[in-house]
Structure 1
Amino acid sequence: MGVSEATRPNGQVLCVDDDEAARYLLGRALELAGFAVTTAGGVREGLEVLRRRRFNLVISDYRMPDGTGTWMLKQASSAGLLEGTEVLIFTGSTHVEDAAGLKIVSKQRGTDHIVAQVLKLLGAPAPRAAAQGQGPQESAMSRIELVLYTAGRSAASLRALRQMKTLLSGYEAAQVDFKIIDLAEGRPASADEDHILLTPTLVQRSPLPRTWVVGDLEDTTLVADLLDHSGVERRQ
């Protein structure tokens, strides 16, 4: 039995991808757009999540070690797990089999493009309720702005991404404005403003003074100090 639209939370997205870095980048981009994101690392895990919960949208990679995203979506549909749910295949593959009726988005277009497609499908998510004791203005305001500059899928860049993901999971996400800029896709003006010469480099852009942490962030003590000093609250 499916979940009705009246009882389904607004803006709930499931992202399924075996690539940890790609999964994190897409999930973070959607969270910054206001969506509530759940992730799964493969076809089997994705099906298990869908058996427990319903989503407004499922975004899946196509080719994964334990199967294809199209197979997963067909299994979920046959089991009645996708009633009223939009689906997208987000892939770097040039050939996608069994994709009749499915929307395909190329990974070559980047996360900004897929976020735009999600907004077209679902519209802007409803604002989340403010935390108890906080006004809406206070709860929506980030206390620190961090930018991580990476260079494609280099080993050091992937380590830095993993380290930041682990560290930030212990802090209130709404209080941290965290962006990832991949210089392999081009050099934006912000990279010159931040005087980026090496990657990976993490930059605290606000509050001032601007601070740089260069390297793969194997030791995140300094970054934790920056978060704590900026007043970012740790999760309980």
Structure 2
Amino acid sequence: MQTTRRVLVVDDEEGMRATLAANLELEGYEVVEARDGAHALELARRQRFALVLSDVKMPGLNGVETFRELRRIQPGLTVVLMTGFAIERLIEEGIGEGVYAVIYKPFSMEHLARVVARALASRPVLVVDDLPDVAEAIVAGLQAAGLRAEAVYDGYAAIQRARDEAVDVCVLDLVMPALDGVKTYEQLRRTSKQIRVIAMTGYAPPEMIHAFTSRGGYACLRKPFEVRELMHAIARARSDPRWC
């Protein structure tokens, strides 16, 4: 089995771990199980993984601490966290440091399989803004946190990029010349139903924001915003069961 299909499942509950492993194996993945964070680190030192699926609340190292250590051993490793507890501080830290997505328990195995497949596809976040300095600053912030991201500067280029290579999440300015954000969004969704689109704006009129959200746009951030706020929106979009 290729490394690109090897998934490490980390959970201190044996029954949950076995259930996750069995379902992922049915999807064609090679699954390795770890009983806790320390065990996960031991395994990661011996073999490479394409993705880690880890519980957050565990004895010893919690899921976010495990994520940090795994990234030191295998930089760029994709990690999805699972949680059934309201431990928002930990979750916020993990997302801010580059966790791909967080799945909240209870979840269906179908939903889990979709998130895992999406994560393993390793598609980029596409930032679209007609001001290159703004777009590049956002991309730099996302890349610094370990996300794969790139920028284009108009709606036409965004549509072409989505056609050339599948895009995971698109962060799209609403007010742009030639082709505005709403029209770009409509074209992107025609290109692929899998693209999640997050709008951003500093001065878009309310009717434009309504047009975006009423057509299924995921969220709209008001400029200026912190990169961490955007990362939370991206993580939510990636794991929202209504969208996956």
Q: What TM bracket, shorter-length normalisation?
A: 0.3 to 0.5
Structure with the bigger percentage of helix: 2
Q: TM-score, normalised by structure 1?
A: 0.46
**Greater RCO between the two (CA within 8 Å, min separation 6)?**
1
